[in-house]
Amino acid sequence: MSKFYEFNAKNNLASGDIFEERKKYALHGLEKDDPKLRVKDLINNDFFYGKVNNTGDSIFVSETNLKQIPSTSQKTIFAIDFIVDAYEEFREYFNKAIITKRIKSRENIINTVEVKRAWESSGIFYHNLMETLYEQYSLFLKSNFYDKKIQNFSDFVDFFLLYIKKNQNVFTNSAFIKSKFCPYSCTGLFLELSFINAEFSDDAKKGKIIEDVNFPFYRNALRKFGFSIDKNAPHRIIANLDSSVMMMYASKYGVLRNKSSYKDFFDSYYYKAYLRDIEFLKKYLTEFYINYVSINPYLKIITTNASGKTRSEIVYREKEFNKNEQYWIGLYFSIRLIEEGIPIDEFRKKMILKDVLNVLSASTFDTCLAFVNKTIFSLKKEFCR
């Protein structure tokens, strides 16, 4: 049990010490093999929990399915509707236990279950990342003198592909959602409680939560209402989609749970990110280029003739460009290959892209996006085993 261990990991420890301390907490902080705990380990085993659907597609919450959480906080806090219902009953149960003295509220850490943080819009985090990405890309162009080679949008995009490949950046919304840059709060499945002000990196405070006299009641109450505990942040609770209790709350909103998948839930409550990837790709690359040209409207080109005389010419960068659907699909496919680290050769890439464009000409744009998404999954399995 965790009470036999002292957890000391913090980010300010020496690298060797922090490794050993993190290892200690990973092994003994909350034993995942104890079925009573219903632990989610988001670092080692459940990294994509709530970020992908039952088929592995990146997803984001439909805001129409959010509900406000009753809170004593000044903030307006939301989560997925049936999870809010489950939380309200959990909170009522916990508060009654305080009144009836089933738990001790004084001088203990777990003495309230008020929510201080829940759903946050992935769109805001994505937009902030795009702003940072543009700034970094602009520096990349200047520091490598690539800015002297950009005359139009196509040149700008060519160097952008080079940049994200060299720096292993995420750019599409699909890649962003599965990355560390998209917090779990964006899933709508997580509720962070206010009984302790703990950083996720502070294992000592996590240990104090686990050792708190009220922890057994807290743990069992969460299970009773369909929640799991975050192993690496015990004050963060998670809707357990494997819980029949939680799915009972969901059924009140028309969610039918298939025994082998959560398809109905994901289809009802989330959007598939790949269906809007190109929309965002066009938006941000266009904004990047327009902003770049407004700051850097021209470049100086110096040429040398046969007699050795140099000549300089001012060339204004093209402001207008018009790209068709085939261009954007091809660019999207190239970016997804880079993001997923798929080392496909150019000949095969062209053959696959030909198939992609055939699908586009014969069906809808969304059908083509689904085909690209499926192709990326297949290539990922082939190259990245």
Q: What is the pLDDT of residue 336?
A: 97
| pLDDT tens figures, 160-182 | 999 999 998 899 999 999 999 99
Q: Are residues 306 and 369 in the same domain?
A: no
**Euclidean distance between CA atoms 96 and 250, whole angstroms:** 24
State whether residue 306 is helix, strand or coil.
coil
Band (pLDDT 50/70/90 cuts) for residue 310 is confident
pLDDT at 200 over 70: no
Express as a percent the part of the chain with pLDDT over 90: 69
Half-sphere exposure for 310 (CA within 13 Å, toward CB): 4
Q: Which of 236, 270, 304 is the last residue before a domain boundary? A: 270
Q: What is the pLDDT of residue 313?
A: 83
| pLDDT tens figures, 218-272 | 999 999 999 999 988 899 999 999 899 999 999 999 998 765 557 889 999 999 9
At how many degrees (to 10) do helices 15-28 and 203-211 cross?
Answer: 20
Which residue range(s) make up the domain with 329? 324-385
**Euclidean distance between CA atoms 94 and 323, whole angstroms:** 58
Q: Which of 246, 270, 294 is the last residue before a domain boundary? A: 270
What would the mean pLDDT of 118-143 be, rounded to a whole number? 97
Other residues' Cβ atoms within 10 Å of the Cβ of residue 293: 18
Q: What is the pLDDT of residue 169?
A: 87
- Based on its alpha-carbon atoms, the radius of gyration of the chain, rounded to whole angstroms, reads 26
Q: Are residues 177 and 192 in the same domain?
A: no
Q: Are residues 38 and 126 in the same domain?
A: no
If you average pLDDT over every residue of the chain, what do you get? 88
Q: Are residues 258 and 172 in the same domain?
A: no
The amino acid that residue 354 corresponds to is: K
Band (pLDDT 50/70/90 cuts) for residue 296 is very high
Question: Running DSSP on this structure, what letter comes out for residue 258?
Answer: B
C-alpha distances (whole Å) from 9 to each of 17, 140, 163, 221, 232 are: 8, 36, 35, 28, 12
Q: What is the pLDDT of residue 42?
A: 85
What would the mean pLDDT of 346-370 be, rounded to a whole number? 96
What would the mean pLDDT of 89-95 be, rounded to a whole number? 97
Phi-psi region of 307 (alpha: psi -120 to 50; beta: other; left: phi over 0): alpha
Q: What is the pLDDT of residue 35?
A: 60
Q: What is the pLDDT of residue 207?
A: 83
**Euclidean distance between CA atoms 71 and 73, whole angstroms:** 5
Q: Are residues 106 and 197 in the same domain?
A: yes
Q: Do residues 205 and 196 lie in contact, with contact meaning Cβ atoms separated by under 8 Å?
A: yes
pLDDT at 202 over 80: no
Domain count, the chain: 3
**Euclidean distance between CA atoms 84 and 330, whole angstroms:** 42
CA neighbor of 112 nearest in space, from 193, 231, 205: 193
| pLDDT tens figures, 52-78 | 999 999 999 999 999 999 877 778 999
pLDDT at 110 over 70: yes
Q: Are residues 361 and 284 in the same domain?
A: no
Q: Are residues 358 and 223 in the same domain?
A: no
Q: Are residues 194 and 166 in the same domain?
A: no
User: Hey, which residues does 67 pair with through a beta bridge?
Assistant: 79
pLDDT at 34 over 60: no
Q: What is the pLDDT of residue 192?
A: 94
pLDDT at 51 over 80: yes
Q: Are residues 363 and 260 in the same domain?
A: no
Q: Are residues 151 and 289 in the same domain?
A: yes
Which helix (H) or strand (E) element contains residue 156? helix 153-167
Q: What is the pLDDT of residue 325?
A: 95
pLDDT at 29 over 80: no
Sign of the alpha-carbon torsion through 165, 169, 173, 174: positive
Quickly list DSSP for 157-191.
Answer: HHHHHHHHHHHT---SHHHHHTSTTS-GGGGS-EE
Q: What is the pLDDT of residue 312?
A: 81
Q: What is the pLDDT of residue 21?
A: 53
Q: Are residues 9 and 90 in the same domain?
A: yes
Per the structure block, which two tokens stand in for 83?
């999870």
pLDDT at 348 over 50: yes
Q: Which residue has the higher pLDDT, 34 or 258?
A: 258
Q: Are residues 138 and 173 in the same domain?
A: yes
Q: Which of 250, 270, 290 is the last residue before a domain boundary? A: 270
Q: What is the pLDDT of residue 31?
A: 59
Express as a percent the part of the chain with pLDDT over 70: 88
Q: Residue 150 burial (CB < 10 Å; 0-12/13-18/19+)?
A: buried
Residues in Cβ contact with 40 at an 8 Å cutoff, skipping those fewer than 6 apart: 46, 49, 228, 229, 230, 231, 238, 240
**Euclidean distance between CA atoms 242 and 250, whole angstroms:** 12
**Euclidean distance between CA atoms 223 and 131, whole angstroms:** 41
